[in-house]
Every structure is written in structure tokens, then in C-alpha cells.
Amino acid sequence: MMDINLNSMKKIFLLLTVVSVFLSSCSQAEPEIYKEKYGSLLYYTAKDKIANLFVEDKPNQQVLIQVGVTTKSSVDRFFNVMIDPSSTATSNQYVIDGASLKIPANSYLGYIKVTGDFNNVLTTGSSLVIKLVSMDGGVIAGFDNIFTLNLFKKCTITDASLFDGTYKVTADQWEDYAVDAEVPVVYDPAFGTNKFKILATNNAYLKNAATAYMIATVDFSKGTVAISANELFDYGTSKVTISGTGTINTCTGSMNLKVNYGSSASNQTLNLVKK
């Protein structure tokens, strides 16, 4: 009796092992069945789905946005994109190269080539939201199918003479000037290429307005400026030493300064925009 039971148990064990192997094989084949049924999936490969393009006044100011597919093909596969309505970039700020919208044969990867237009991109920036919409021989993934490219104009002023001109005051915490008051900025070749004068000619509170001026020394690599003066600013009741720091916009020439007026006041905002 014992021998019969053992043999029966062996048969049952062998049968269960065969069934287990069969079920395991079916389970491993499911991904291939899925791909065959639904085709290849197209998606953006970048982790964050967002990037910045700083557009300079030079040729080929462009970026390549990578896309990927889940299966290879023996032929080129073309895909289509659309600009999402949430975009703030206007059509004259960029060009999408239609010829770049493909997955080459025998490859998992492709690229969307976007070129920025320096003359129309804004220094304040704009967003281009690109949505994948269709692909030959495949479908768009239900995930990672939207990419945001932020476009910014980047200028590199390397000569202080380009600041020469008339500026308008947008803010003056010390209240030497009213908003929209005009301030002359003058370049003096004797100063070299990284300094210019901010004249006090229109400052009604100064006794020496005709001769006094701030000196701005620019670090073009950092977009910063250091402020000093050629003489004490004479307010009648007191004469103060001028110093300070600030930042400059190397596209527009605008300045955001923090000025120290002796011991009377420090870090006083003085913002100037070129007319």
C-alpha cells in the first residue's frame, strides 16, 4: 500500500511541476503580446520634461529634445506634435524642424529640434509646451507625452559704451528722483571698457549736481556692478560718500542698484531703465 501511495504522489508532483512551468511561460510572454496588440509607444525620455533654451545673437541657437519608443522598426517612423494652448511663446519666437520628427530605422531614440529666434524671444522668457500626438506604426504613451521648453533671450554686453544714453527712474527709495525722472548715463573712454558715469545733473537736492556723478564698474561675466562716486554728494546740510552694488541686464542695459548714502542710509533701491 505504501508503494502505491508514493508513486501516486510522485505523479501528482510531476503534474503540478509541468503546470507551473506552463503558467510561468505564459506569464513571461504577456509583454510581447501587449506590444504586438498595441504597437510601439512614443514618449519623452527626459526625467523632468522641462528645459531652458537661452537664445543668443548667434547662429544655430537650438536644442534637441529626446523622445523614445518601446520597440525598434526596420524603417524610419515619423511622428507629429502640437503646441499646447498653455504655451506663452509666440510662433515667431521658435522654429520646430519638421524633418527632425522621426525615429530612425533600427533605433529606439529620436529628437525634436527647436531653434530660438533671438530677435523675438523675450528677456523675461516664454514657455513652449510641445505635446506628442501621433506616430507611424505606433501610439503615443499615456504618460510623459508633454514637454515644456522655456525660451529666454541672452545678451552679452561687454563694453560699457553700450550703456551710454538717457535712463528713466522706475524706483528711488532715497527719493532724489521721482518715478519717470530722467538720468543721464555717460561713457568716458578714459575709464576703459568696464566703467560709465551716472550723472547727478537732474538731482535737485544736490548743491554740486553739475559736477558730481556715480561711477559704475561692471563685471560683465556676472552681470553685476559696483558703485562709487567722483566726489562727496553735497546735500547742503550734509556731504555723503556714495557706494553700493547692483545688477545689470546685459540685453536692455537696465540697472537695479542698492546705494549707500554715507551713514545716513544703506542699501537704498535705485532702479534705472534705458529709454
Q: Over 80: is that where the pLDDT of 47 sits? A: yes
In the 3-class helix/strand/coil scheme, how is 221-246 assigned residue by residue?
A: CCCEEEEEECCCEECCCCEECEEEEE
List, in sequence order, every beta strand (DSSP E) within 84-164.
Answer: 94-96, 102-103, 109-116, 126-135, 138-140, 146-153
Q: Over 50: is that where the pLDDT of 169 sits? A: yes
- In whole angstroms, give the CA distance from residue 10 to residue 44: 53
Q: Over 50: is that where the pLDDT of 126 sits? A: yes
Q: Over 70: is that where the pLDDT of 20 sits? A: no
Q: What 3-state DSSP class applies to 145?
A: coil
What CATH topology corresponds to 40-153?
Immunoglobulin-like (2.60.40)
Kindly report the average pLDDT of the chain as a whole number: 87
Phi, psi of 85 (to 5 degrees): -60, -20
What would the mean pLDDT of 147-172 be, rounded to a whole number? 92
The pLDDT-based confidence of 110 (bands split at 50, 70, 90) is: very high
Q: Which of 122-126, 152-156, 192-196 has the highest mean pLDDT?
A: 192-196
Q: Where in the chain do CATH 2.40.128 domains reside?
A: 160-274
Q: Tell me the per-residue pLDDT of 187-226, one tens digit each, with 9 for 90 and over.
A: 999 999 999 999 999 999 999 999 999 999 999 878 899 9
Q: Over 60: is that where the pLDDT of 37 sits? A: no
- The DSSP secondary-structure symbol of 92 reads G
Q: Over 70: is that where the pLDDT of 1 sits? A: no
Q: Which CATH number fits domain 160-274: 1.10.150, 1.10.490, 2.60.120, 2.40.128?
A: 2.40.128
Q: What 3-state DSSP class applies to 189?
A: helix
Q: Over 90: is that where the pLDDT of 19 sits? A: no
- In whole angstroms, give the CA distance from residue 63 to residue 253: 27
Q: What is the pLDDT of residue 26?
A: 37
Q: Where in the chain do CATH 2.60.40.1740 domains reside?
A: 40-153
